[in-house]
A and B are shown apart, each in its own frame.
Chain A
C-alpha cells in the first residue's frame, strides 16, 4: 500500500515527462525543409498545380515532358528562373528562397515521382531546346498551323473551342521556348494532345514544330519580344518590349 502510494507520484512524473504536451522537435528552419512534397506545395504548386498538373503554368507531372528535358535543365530553370517569363528564380543566390540542396530535392522529387518510361510508338522525340532545334520557316509554319492547330485554336473569323493562340497579348507572354515545349508535349491535363496525336496518322517532326513556332513568333507584334527570346535570339535587336517597359519611368 505504502509502496503504491510512493509509486503514484513517480508514475505521474514519468507520465509527465512523456506527456502529450512535451515539445517534440525544434521549430524547423525554412532551409531545413527537404521533403519534396512540402517544397513543391509551398513553392511550385501555385502555378504548376497541386500535383504538378492542372495548373495555369506548364505541367510537370508529365512523363513526356520529363523525357524531353534533362535534370540539369530543370535545375537551371528553378535556380535562375526564366527571365521575362512568369517563372521566377528560386535560388538564394538569385534572390529566391531556396538553398541549392532544396532545389536538388525538388528536381529529384519531380524525376522520382513523375518521370516514367515513355512508349514513343516509333516516333522520334523532338529536340527540346529552341537553340538546338532546326531553323523554322514561318511560311511553312502557317500551313502546319492550319493542319495541326487550327481545328482547336481557330483562324481568322473561325473560332476554335480552345481559344486563339494568335492573340498578340498571348504571344507577348509566351516565349518561343514555351511555344515549342507546348507544341511538343501539349497540355494533356487540359485536353491538348501532344505532337503525335493531333491528326490521326500524322506525327509532326522537328521541322514542323520549328516552323509552327516560327510562324507564331512572326504573329507577335513588333516590340512584343520576350526577354527570354532576346537572350536566345540575337537576330532581333528590338528592346522596347514589355521586358524593358517594366522598369519605372521618370
Chain B
C-alpha cells in the first residue's frame, strides 16, 4: 500500500532522482569525519534562527516607541517569551562560533582550492551577511546599548570622505536616530539579509553538490588543475559512499549536541538584555557592543588617532578582499595543514589577535571608570599617618575625578598609570608639572586646580610609595636637609607664583 503511494508520488515528483542527486550523492568515505560537521551545524543554527526569529516577530514591535516595552513584555509576560529570546540570542552566538570553526576547517583542509573557489567565495559572502545580521540584531534589542551602538555606527559612517553625511542619512533613515532608523534595521534584519543568506546558502549547497565535498587531504598530494578532476572522480568511484545514510551520522550526532547545548545555554544564562531603555537623555550609560564587535571596539581605542579612519575603511576591505581572492592566489598545491605551516601560523595569529582584542574590549582599560571618583574610596592604609594637608590632597584626588583614570590598590580607572607608587616615579617638580600641564594623554589641570589644591595633591602623592622604596628625587639637586616643612611651603609658593604669573 505505502509502496504504491510512494511510487505514485515518485512518478510525479521524481523523489528518488531528487534524493540521488542531493542527499544521496556520493562523497568520499573519509569525508565522514568529525572535522566535517561544522557546516551542517551552522546551517542548523540558521534554520533555528529563522524559526525563533519568526516567533519573536509575532510579539515584537519594531517601533522606537514600543520596541523596548515589547522586549520587556517578551521577557516577563509572554509565556516562554524569555526562552525564545534566549534561544535566538544563543542560536546567534553558536551560529557565529560554528561558522568560524567551519571556515577555519575549510581553510586548513585546503577545501577552498581548485575547483571549489566559488564555494569559498559564497562562504565569504555568508560570513559578511552573518556579521551584518549580528549588528542589525543588536539594534533589534532596542535598549541603550543599541541606541548608542547606532550612534557609533553613524559616527564611523560619517568618517567616509565626501559622501559621509549622506551615508549617515541613508543608514539612519534621516538626519538623526529616530523612528525610521529602527524600521530600517528591522527590514534589513528580518527581510533583506535573511533573503540574501537563503539565496547564497542555496548556491553554497549547490556548489557542494556539483563540485563534490573535499576529500580528507593527504599530505604530499598537492592539487593540480589538470589532474585533480580525474583524481576526484577516481576517489568517488573507488571509495564513494552516499552522503545519506553512510556519511551523515556524525553530522546528525553533532547537530543534536548543538541543539541541546543551545537549549541548555538558553535555560541557564537566559536572554541578553535588554539593558536600560533607549532614552538618549540618560547620559550615565556606558555603551558596549556585543561580543562579536568587541575586537573592533578595542582596536579603535588602541590605534593611533591618524590610523583610525584608514583602519576602519581600508582594513575590512583588505581583509574581505583577501578572503575573496584567496582561492585564486593559492588555488593549487598542498591541501593538508601538515604541509602548510604558514596557513596554520596565520590562523593562530589571527585568533590570538582577535582573542586579545576581544578580551581587551571586554575589560576596556582605556575607558574612564565614570563613577570611581564617588564610589571608590581611598584605601585606609594609604591614608594612615598622613598629615592634614596630605589628607586634603587625598580629598582633592577624589574630588577632581583623578580616580576615574588612575587606580589605587587596583580600584579605579586603568587609563592612566596606577598611583600606588607614583612617588617612586616622579619627583615633586615632575608631579607638579604633570598635574598642571598634563601631557601623555592626561588633560592639563592648571586651570581647574588652585595652587593650594595642587600643593595638597602633590604632597599626598609624594607619600605614595612602598615603605621599602624611597620616593624619587631630583638627581640634579642635593638632598634637602633641615625642615622639610619649610620646603613644602617654599614650593607651594613657587607654584602659586608660577600660576599667577601665567594667568596674568
- Chain A residues within 8 Å of B, Cβ to Cβ: 13, 15-17, 19-23, 26-27, 29-30, 41-50, 54-57, 86, 88, 97, 153, 157, 159, 162-165, 167-170, 172-174, 190, 224, 241-243, 245-246, 248-249
What's the minimum C-beta distance from A97 to chain B, rounded to whole angstroms?
7
Minimum CB distance partner of B400 in chain A: A86
Say whether, besides A42-B375, A170-B456, A173-B453, A23 and B284 are in contact (CB < 8 Å). no
Q: Which of A26, A50, A241 has the most CB of B within 10 A?
A: A26
Are A21 and B86 neighbours in the complex by a CB distance under 8 Å?
yes
Are B377 and A163 neighbours in the complex by a CB distance under 8 Å?
no
Asked if B75 is at the interface of the complex by the 8 Å CB criterion, the answer is: yes
Please name 11 pairs of A and B residues whose Cβ atoms are closer than 8 Å in the assembled complex, sorted by A: A19-B268, A21-B86, A30-B282, A41-B375, A56-B392, A86-B398, A162-B387, A168-B489, A172-B451, A172-B452, A173-B392
Q: Which of B374, B396, B452, B488 has the most CB of A within 10 A?
A: B452
Are B485 and A164 neighbours in the complex by a CB distance under 8 Å?
yes
Across chains A and B, the number of contacting residue pairs, with CB separation under 8 Å, is 165
Say whether, besides A20-B268, A46-B377, A169-B492, A97 and B284 are in contact (CB < 8 Å). yes
Question: Contact flags (1/0) for B254-282 with A, using CB distance below 8 Å?
Answer: 00000000000011111101111000001
Give chain B interface residues in 79-114, CB to chain A under 8 Å: 79-80, 82-83, 86
Minimum CB distance partner of B449 in chain A: A246
With a cutoff of 8 Å between Cβ atoms, the chain B residues found around residue A26 in the complex are 72, 76
With a cutoff of 8 Å between Cβ atoms, the chain A residues found around residue B267 in the complex are 15-16, 19-21
Asked if B22 is at the interface of the complex by the 8 Å CB criterion, the answer is: no
Say whether, besides A13-B80, A242-B450, A170 and B274 are in contact (CB < 8 Å). no
Interchain CA distance A239-B396 in the complex, whole Å: 22
Say whether, besides A22-B82, A45-B375, A49-B377, A86 and B450 are in contact (CB < 8 Å). no
Are B377 and A173 neighbours in the complex by a CB distance under 8 Å?
no
Say whether, besides A46-B377, A54-B380, A97-B284, A23 and B387 are in contact (CB < 8 Å). no
With a cutoff of 8 Å between Cβ atoms, the chain B residues found around residue A165 in the complex are 388
Are B75 and A23 neighbours in the complex by a CB distance under 8 Å?
yes
Are B377 and A86 neighbours in the complex by a CB distance under 8 Å?
no
Asked if B481 is at the interface of the complex by the 8 Å CB criterion, the answer is: no
Say whether, besides A19-B270, A169-B492, A164 and B284 are in contact (CB < 8 Å). no
Asked if B421 is at the interface of the complex by the 8 Å CB criterion, the answer is: no
- How large, as a class, is the contact surface on chain B? 35 or more
Are B276 and A29 neighbours in the complex by a CB distance under 8 Å?
yes
Interchain CA distance A84-B447 in the complex, whole Å: 15
Q: Which of A30, A164, A245 has the most CB of B within 10 A?
A: A245
Are B377 and A55 neighbours in the complex by a CB distance under 8 Å?
yes
- Chain B residues within 8 Å of A, Cβ to Cβ: 72, 75-76, 79-80, 82-83, 86, 143, 266-271, 273-276, 282, 284, 371-378, 380, 383-384, 386-392, 394-399, 403, 447-453, 455-456, 459, 483, 485, 488-489, 492, 499-500, 503
With a cutoff of 8 Å between Cβ atoms, the chain B residues found around residue A16 in the complex are 80, 83, 267
Say whether, besides A224-B452, A249-B503, A56 and B375 are in contact (CB < 8 Å). no
With a cutoff of 8 Å between Cβ atoms, the chain A residues found around residue B488 in the complex are 167, 169
With a cutoff of 8 Å between Cβ atoms, the chain B residues found around residue A20 in the complex are 267-268, 270
What's the minimum C-beta distance from B28 to chain A, rounded to whole angstroms?
40
Minimum CB distance partner of B383 in chain A: A56
With a cutoff of 8 Å between Cβ atoms, the chain A residues found around residue B390 in the complex are 163
Are B392 and A174 neighbours in the complex by a CB distance under 8 Å?
yes
Q: Which of B75, B391, B488 has the most CB of A within 10 A?
A: B391
Minimum CB distance partner of B452 in chain A: A172
Interchain CA distance A88-B400 in the complex, whole Å: 10
12 additional contacts (CB under 8 A) given A16-B267, A97-B284, A173-B453: A21-B83, A42-B371, A46-B377, A49-B377, A54-B383, A159-B485, A167-B387, A167-B388, A169-B456, A172-B450, A173-B395, A224-B452
Say whether, besides A86-B398, A86-B399, A44 and B374 are in contact (CB < 8 Å). yes
Say whether, besides A86-B398, A242-B452, A242-B453, A164 and B383 are in contact (CB < 8 Å). no
Interchain CA distance A88-B72 in the complex, whole Å: 36
Minimum CB distance partner of B396 in chain A: A86
With a cutoff of 8 Å between Cβ atoms, the chain A residues found around residue B82 in the complex are 21-23
Interchain CA distance A164-B371 in the complex, whole Å: 32
Choose one: A22, A168, A248; the contact of B452 (CB below 8 Å). Answer: A168
Are B389 and A17 neighbours in the complex by a CB distance under 8 Å?
no
With a cutoff of 8 Å between Cβ atoms, the chain B residues found around residue A45 in the complex are 374-377
Are B375 and A46 neighbours in the complex by a CB distance under 8 Å?
yes
With a cutoff of 8 Å between Cβ atoms, the chain A residues found around residue B373 in the complex are 46
What's the minimum C-beta distance from A125 to chain B, rounded to whole angstroms?
24
Q: Which of B373, B391, B392 has the most CB of A within 10 A?
A: B392
Are A42 and B75 neighbours in the complex by a CB distance under 8 Å?
no
With a cutoff of 8 Å between Cβ atoms, the chain B residues found around residue A29 in the complex are 276, 282
Minimum CB distance partner of A58 in chain B: B395
Choose one: A23, A47, A56; the contact of B76 (CB below 8 Å). Answer: A23
With a cutoff of 8 Å between Cβ atoms, the chain B residues found around residue A169 in the complex are 389, 451-452, 455-456, 459, 488-489, 492
With a cutoff of 8 Å between Cβ atoms, the chain A residues found around residue B397 in the complex are 56
Interchain CA distance A163-B391 in the complex, whole Å: 10
Which 4 pairs of residues, A with B, have the shortest CB-CB distance? A163-B387, A21-B270, A242-B450, A172-B452
With a cutoff of 8 Å between Cβ atoms, the chain B residues found around residue A163 in the complex are 386-390
With a cutoff of 8 Å between Cβ atoms, the chain A residues found around residue B383 in the complex are 54-56, 190
Interchain CA distance A249-B450 in the complex, whole Å: 13
Say whether, besides A21-B269, A23-B271, A27-B276, A56 and B452 are in contact (CB < 8 Å). no
